[in-house]
Chain A
Amino acid sequence: IAGITQAPTSQILAAGRRMTLRCTQDMRHNAMYWYRQDLGLGLRLIHYSNTAGTTGKGEVPDGYSVSRANTDDFPLTLASAVPSQTSVYFCASSPGGHTEAFFGQGTRLTVV
């Protein structure tokens, strides 16, 4: 079934460690997004990419980096994790042109 795959589904990470959350889509969508979801704060955009080779900062980019080397993959890296990065992370993609986004199932990350 076509869609978005996120890995891992959950992770406990020691503070200060580096972590990459993986996201792959097989829908050939141009745009991809990373959001974090926190209780009472909804979904906040971390980084996005309109097309392969380009990225942009969202609402809460600090402490995170992304790359978009090809259409399908959009990894999110935490260079040095801190407890405030404990969250549920959602990757999404869309065809672009302001069409709707399709979401993965999320990665639950706990930084201790």
Chain B
Amino acid sequence: AQSVTQLGSHVSVSEGALVLLRCNYSSSVPPYLFWYVQYPNQGLQLLLKYTTGATLVKGINGFEAEFKKSETSFHLTKPSAHMSDAAEYFCAVSDRARDDKIIFGKGTRLHILP
């Protein structure tokens, strides 16, 4: 069954510094991969997704992620953190060979230090 592991439940970076949030997936076949963001007391919204084609995926708010099959990873990055990026981030996977289940990781809370 597909699964996602997010390394680090909390990550702190200084404003202007690189953001790196790690995600590793497990899937028996090439997966569909997603990153979502959740601001306090809100639902989740999609940042970016990988389906097929280019392995470097660009999303909203300056975020991007790279699908690396050899490492079973889909890490999220942003070159320069803003205070407004403080939120919880979730990696998710959907297995191409199965139904439309979407499985989420446990989330990483990103703290931005002034």
CB within 8 Å of B: which residues of A?
30-31, 33, 35, 40-45, 48, 50, 56, 58-59, 90, 92, 94, 96-98, 100-106
Contacts and interface: CB of A to CB of B under 8 A. Distances in A.
B96 to A, nearest CB: 6
B113 interface: no
Nearest to B88: A42
Contacts, number: 59
Q: How large is the interface on B (under 10, 10 to 19, 20 to 34, 35 or more residues)?
A: 20 to 34
Interface stretch (B14-22, B64-72, B76-84, B104-112): B104-112
A98 B32 contact: yes
A56 B90 contact: no
B43 A44 contact: no
Nearest to B98: A98
A98 B51 CA distance: 8
